[in-house]
Chain A
Amino acid sequence: MATIREELQAAVKKLFDDDKIDYFVGYAEDYGHTFPAILTKDSDPSRLTFDRKSYDNLANFLPELRGSRVGLICKQCEVRTLNVLAAEEQVERDKLVVVGVPCPAMLDPRKLTEGAADLDSLDESYWQEKCRRCLERNTPLADVFVGERVSTPTPAEGWPLLEEVEKMSAEERLAWWRRQMSLCIRCYACRLACPLCYCHQCFVEDNKPQWIDKSVAPENNLHYHIIRAVHLAGRCIECQECSRVCPVGIPVDVLNNVLSRDFAERFGYVSGETAETQPALTRYERDDKEDFIL
């Protein structure tokens, strides 16, 4: 039986041979890491892979390749991202070839210790938090599906870290955020790894007017993170890439989780849930709760 890796490589080769795509965005494996790779028809697909360290949200590369015909591996995270990007008219769905995969749940790199033996057998305690909440492990929307379909466990309820933070008193919580923000180095990797932070000009880079001071200080750092979170209100699809890439381990996504939970509880809204889902802040229903305004 062909492995998922072989099936994937064959599928990609066929897409290029049939002249269906100009670029393929997938994962390659080398020097002990799995990382995103962009291929053209002249590229060698033999190191394309899909494993439990295929962390990156590949939809992040789509705005850059806009206008080209692109094939990409989509996990649930990419699918929800695509739905948001399409609703916001940032991608042209008919130019995309979605390669579906059975997602085995991604591992949390912070929980992996050196030389962890068999990655395939690691249980839930090694998963990324988002994978416990996954709605569908087999890519919906797939134009091509590689590998054997898997069953999706019942999505876990709750937001463990957010709930922990909310248990704190207001003073404790402020102190906790101050500590986290004192670690931030403002590399903006959280923003750049975010597939929905695609603005050509971000408010942090404006200097006329300068919305935010460039010096690295807890209050400036918090200012940046709060505004970014608000810009993602009703859009964030909880892929947690912002937290994964943070070099100093700030759980950036906790801020986004507050808003995601509010949208879920108040409006029964899950961003990017289906291809028909419209952005929350651009639609109106007569029975929307307005208790926080009126």
Chain B
Amino acid sequence: MAAEYYRLNKDKVGELFERARADYDVVAKTRDANGNLVYGRPATFDDVAFVDEQPPMSAKAFALPQTETLVRYEREDEKIRAEGPEAEARDVLLFGVNICDAAAFDIIDHVFKWDYLDDPYLGRRADATLFALACAAVQQDCFCDRISYAEDGVDTVAYPLEGYYLVKVQTEKGRKLVERYHDLFDAEDGDAEAAINTFREKAGTAKKEPLLESARAGLEKAFEHADWEILASTCIGCGICTYTCPTCHCFDIQDEGSAIAGRRLRTWDHCTGRTFTAMPAHQPRDRQYKRYRQRLLHKFWYYPERFGPLLCTGCGRCITYCPVKINIKELVEYFGGLKDTPPGGARHGK
């Protein structure tokens, strides 16, 4: 559909949240026990953090939970009873989600509807409406300005302008949301796209050359580059980069329980770990730097080769939360031939 533009007064956001709770399972940013920002289910608008700051964990768990039951089984005498996962009852509204989190769903949809239709994921995805809040300033390590991912699958985006939110509606789901609460929205008469462009220039989120897509040709020649070992061997192999990532989607299937009763579940898994794929076969990457290289090349070469978009929205969490501060953007630029100096200057074989 052609985009539509509305105005939402800043003092109407609370009312929108409260009324949406009657129709949707509303997920919004709130604070957890340690004061971290998280996507959760705050009960009132007072507990909502309607801010552009990124929570440590992305929003992907609402389509791909970290732990998900696929089937439960129970044996009674000779009979085995098995039940699939319970269907979730209500439509989810992701309220105030960051654009980098919201746009990630379109990117990973490709893999979940590729050769096998992943019903649990696709079901939750189809039921989710995205109400994104645009960032007024870039965050610590993010680089969305360097990746040209599509945002037109994000149902609505609210741009915080002077005195009001300019709401851009991009999909039918977004239009349904606005129609439901139409009395809260006013028509936008001005040149909305010009206002959005100005806003993004000021926020620092307008796209800048060279985009990381252009590193691909260089990366395709860099698999055997001698510097991987020196630059990626500080990786400790934890899963923080992948677990906080809005686009990393690898999972493991596990059984819990006994022969009498139990469940089969899937949990997140990650290619940077020592035991990744060790259960069905073996971990083919025998050194840590090779595991890190796999993650980078999967995002910036293999995935776009197969599906088109980069497997990255530039949120920067994998840099911010990396215990050893490995910088994926810098490494893509270096191995992709966009810059000559490696991060930290620790160049091998100068």
By a beta-carbon cutoff of 8 Å, the part of chain A in contact with chain B is 28-31, 33-40, 42-44, 46-47, 56, 60-61, 64, 114, 179-180, 182-183, 185, 187-189, 191-193, 205, 207, 213-217, 241, 244-245, 247-250
Contact = CB atoms under 8 A, between A and B. Distances in A.
Given A35-B326, A35-B344, A215 B36 contact: no
B349 A189 contact: no
| Residue of B239, B279, B319, B345 with highest tally of chain A CB at under 10 A | B345
A47 B274 CA distance: 30
Contacts of B57: 185, 247-248
Contacts of A114: 140
Nearest to B288: A64
Interface stretch (B121-129, B145-153, B228-236, B293-301): B228-236
B345 A187 contact: no
B13 interface: no
A187 B254 CA distance: 16
Given A61-B234, A247-B244, A30 B252 contact: no
A153 B321 CA distance: 31
Interface of B: 32-36, 56-57, 66-67, 140-141, 230, 233-234, 236-240, 243-244, 252, 254, 256, 265, 267, 274-275, 278-279, 288, 319, 321, 323-327, 330, 343-350
B343 A31 contact: yes
B330 A188 contact: no
Contacts, number: 131
B66 A247 contact: no
A187 B230 contact: no
Nearest to B343: A30
Contacts of B233: 38, 64
Nearest to A182: B33
Given A36-B324, A189-B236, A29 B67 contact: no
B267 A214 contact: yes
17 contacts: A30-B327, A31-B343, A40-B348, A42-B350, A43-B347, A44-B346, A60-B236, A183-B32, A192-B236, A193-B236, A213-B256, A214-B267, A215-B67, A217-B67, A245-B240, A249-B35, A250-B34
A81 to B, nearest CB: 15
B330 A31 contact: yes
A162 B19 CA distance: 43
Contacts of B275: 205
Contacts of A29: 344
A247 B244 CA distance: 8
| Residue of B67, B256, B346 with highest tally of chain A CB at under 10 A | B346
A224 to B, nearest CB: 13
B343 A215 contact: no
A33 B325 contact: yes
B330 A248 contact: no
Given A35-B326, A185-B239, A205-B275, 11 more contacts: A31-B327, A35-B324, A36-B234, A37-B344, A56-B323, A180-B33, A192-B237, A245-B323, A247-B56, A248-B57, A249-B34
A58 to B, nearest CB: 10
| Residue of B140, B240, B252, B279 with highest tally of chain A CB at under 10 A | B240
A214 B252 contact: yes
B236 A179 contact: no
A216 B343 contact: no
A114 B244 CA distance: 21
A247 B240 contact: yes
Contacts of A36: 234, 324
A195 B309 CA distance: 38
Contact of B239 (A40, A47, A188, A215): A188
A42 B344 contact: no
